[in-house]
Amino acid sequence: MTIELPGAIAAYFSADKQGDTRAISDCFTQDAIVVDEGNTYTGRDAIRQWIANASTQYTYTAEPFALAEEGGRTIVTSHLVGNFPGSPVDLRYFFVLQDDKIAELEIVP
Q: Where are the domains of the chain?
A: 7-108
Q: Would you say 93 and 76 are in contact if contact means Cβ atoms under 8 Å apart?
A: yes
What percentage of the chain reaches a pLDDT higher than 90? 78
pTM of the model: 0.92
Identity at 16, one-letter amino acid code: D
Tell me: domain 7-108, CATH 3.40.50.300, correct? no
pLDDT tens-digit map of 98-107: 999 999 999 9
pLDDT tens-digit map of 30-55: 999 999 989 999 999 999 999 988 87
